[in-house]
Structure 1
């Protein structure tokens, strides 16, 4: 994501995600389903982190919070829609195809008409392209010179490694969380992960250097993957099959 930028990363990840949904919908055996779900976890981590960073970097500081909240709400509504489709008369294969096309085709087409993030372009030294990108998102009547100067000043003071290390941590956490979860159980895994997550937030809030921020974000990625996977599995296993969709939807909405 650092080298290619959020937009290009999304343009590469979305077709892979669509292909994985199609393979899932036509999977002939359980092993194919498990393998596809593994790759879906990787692509979903890539898409989630890239989209969050892309929106955060292109949005104006006055509306950034609203846009980030809208992005998160739309993601949770999409999960709720998936559970609603699963509760309908559609088979799980048709639900997989619906989710795949809705989640990938629409954003892919839209991204083709959008430029790269101005902040990412600035980190790569493309100041002219960053200026044009910022002008695209702000409109012709907006004076982008001051904001461009703020971006230059920010680049001199901060590093871009924190978000990348969180992505690496999340990916690593997704790969290793299954081991303690199987041995210890979801509840114990959560009881171990939550204090570590709290400690990482405290370290992040008091971080004296950028390297401490980067390290804290890395561990946050691991603990967040552990907490997310353990809590979802915990709720799924303790709830009755007839009402499992409702508590799972509530869990996703609360998250």
Structure 2
């Protein structure tokens, strides 16, 4: 009887906490979280459109500006150099001035993206083209850290996974729609279209609240409770969440303000290995090589043009990412990551096989090559969109304590963009070395990802940020 009664009390307490998170007004508060998330992920669309731009624009830019393959590889990859610079600064900018605001972290990134797209639109020479691409890269380097962290910090724990994964959904929308638009409009008009989501986000930032956890960290207690009240609903009981965040802040405020070298202390080793490891494996699985140069892959595999393949990629990405969003808070992070990584392994293997078949003399085998390549790329794209695209960013936003988020965010985002630059710059040269070998290497890395997730990545579903960080790091938070 004692066990049953305790279990009943625990169940009642959990039910009350869930009710508090949903608010007494029947969940109408959620629209504030939805609108704030939509404004934030407008920046994710900018990210996606920048990544997707170089594939449909390749032939037009090379013909109009007379660029060689090496020059265009520089243009494609210089986006990631700008993003690395933005990544180095992203965590500290977000910590110093806040996650949102028209002149704060997201707003600053929008200014750089606007300037970059305009420079590309007006380009008459390679130097201005590259400068514009670099500027866009810097802007999305900031956004790639700030957006998932902001969403994670404003969202209730029972919705956090799905809402944070909307970041990846909008990246996929940006990539897919840019692929599609690139088949019907010229590269200059495509650059001009890239300005629209920047303007949407700039205007929207005036109407969304700051992150309550950032306000609490900065000691702005009145603003902290006010922002949390806006996000949870006027009739919700936020006392439990307020106390939990305050207790956590009191714990971390006793710690020295973090520097990037502090991340390499033993107590943060698990968080760093997971955060950095996922980003390395995500990028060295070949995603940006495939995304940046999809058209070239399909032509190399035997298609008369790359437009059919890129349209098919666009058709796969959005529904698979949507499925990932819906499953995130039901199946959990780890199962989705493992299924996603296994799928990318299979997709790369199939593309590699298609290039092996290409060197055979049998006519009936050669007829299969485009189909096998297309299926492989679609399996890869769909599987990546399901989990590997978005979940590493979700986990990155969850596993580091708030006093380390600035330094950790800069490190993890820098590693991601460094890997992206290496792959995007060398991809064309790797294809010239061995098309099949390139994709078999990517398949092997994707296979290693499955093992990495199984052994090291924690499940963070239905746990508060404070609970996750206390379990992964050496200090604990005792309730008052």
Q: Does 1:3 align with 2:96?
A: yes
Deviation at 1:229, TM superposition (A): 3.3
Q: Is the 8 A contact 1:239 1:247 kept in 2?
A: no
- Equivalent residue for 2:306, pick from 228, 236, 242: 242
Q: Does 1:37 align with 2:130?
A: no
What is the aligned-residue RMSD (CA, Å)?
3.1
CA distance in 2 between counterparts of 1:116 and 1:146 reads 20
- Paired residue secondary structure (1:60): coil
**Partner of 1:232 in structure 2?**
291
Q: Is the 8 A contact 1:57 1:118 kept in 2?
A: yes
* Matching of residues 140-179 of structure 1 within 5 Å: 140-156=234-250
**Partner of 1:112 in structure 2?**
206
Q: 1:225 to 1:242 in 2, by over 3 A?
A: closer
Name which one, 1 or 2, has greater alpha-carbon Rg.
2
Q: Which has the higher contact order (CA 8 A, sep 6+)?
A: 2
- Paired residue secondary structure (1:20): helix
CA distance in 1 between counterparts of 2:121 and 2:293 reads 26
Q: Deviations over 1:168-197 (max 9, x none)?
A: xxxxxxxxxxxxxxxxxxxxxxxxxxxxxx
* Matching of residues 171-190 of structure 1 within 5 Å: none
Q: So what's the TM-score if we normalise by structure 1?
A: 0.71
Deviation at 1:123, TM superposition (A): 1.4
CA distance in 2 between counterparts of 1:86 and 1:245 reads 10
Q: Deviations over 1:105-140 (max 9, x none)?
A: 111111111121001111112122111111111121
CA distance in 1 between counterparts of 2:269 and 2:105 reads 25
Q: Is the 8 A contact 2:113 2:139 kept in 1?
A: yes
Q: Deviations over 1:56-90 (max 9, x none)?
A: 100111111221233321221122111111111x2
- Paired residue secondary structure (1:239): helix
Q: Is the 8 A contact 2:111 2:139 kept in 1?
A: no
Of 127-136 and 225-234, the range deviating more from structure 2: 225-234
CA distance in 2 between counterparts of 1:235 and 1:57 reads 35
CA distance in 2 between counterparts of 1:72 and 1:59 reads 16
**Partner of 2:429 in structure 1?**
none
- Equivalent residue for 2:180, pick from 84, 95, 107: 84
- Paired residue secondary structure (2:96): coil
Q: Is the 8 A contact 2:113 2:195 kept in 1?
A: yes
- Equivalent residue for 2:267, pick from 180, 196, 209: 209
Q: Which runs of 5+ in 2 are unaligned?
A: 1-93, 300-304, 318-380, 390-480
Deviation at 1:224, TM superposition (A): 4.3
Matched residue pairs, number?
211
Q: Is the 8 A contact 2:296 2:306 kept in 1?
A: no
CA distance in 2 between counterparts of 1:44 and 1:214 reads 22
Deviation at 1:234, TM superposition (A): 6.3
Of 61-70 and 9-18, the range deviating more from structure 2: 61-70
Q: Is the 8 A contact 1:158 1:210 kept in 2?
A: no
Q: Which runs of 5+ in 1 are unaligned?
A: 166-206
- Equivalent residue for 1:61, pick from 138, 142, 157: 157
Of 112-121 and 27-36, the range deviating more from structure 2: 27-36
Q: Deviations over 1:143-166 (max 9, x none)?
A: 122111111233355699xxx97x
Q: So what's the TM-score if we normalise by structure 2?
A: 0.40
CA distance in 1 between counterparts of 2:131 and 2:283 reads 19
**Partner of 1:137 in structure 2?**
231
Q: 1:108 to 1:225 in 2, by over 3 A?
A: farther
CA distance in 1 between counterparts of 2:159 and 2:141 reads 25
Q: 1:211 to 1:120 in 2, by over 3 A?
A: farther
Q: 1:235 to 1:93 in 2, by over 3 A?
A: closer
**Partner of 1:97 in structure 2?**
192
CA distance in 1 between counterparts of 2:292 and 2:313 reads 9
CA distance in 1 between counterparts of 2:231 and 2:124 reads 45
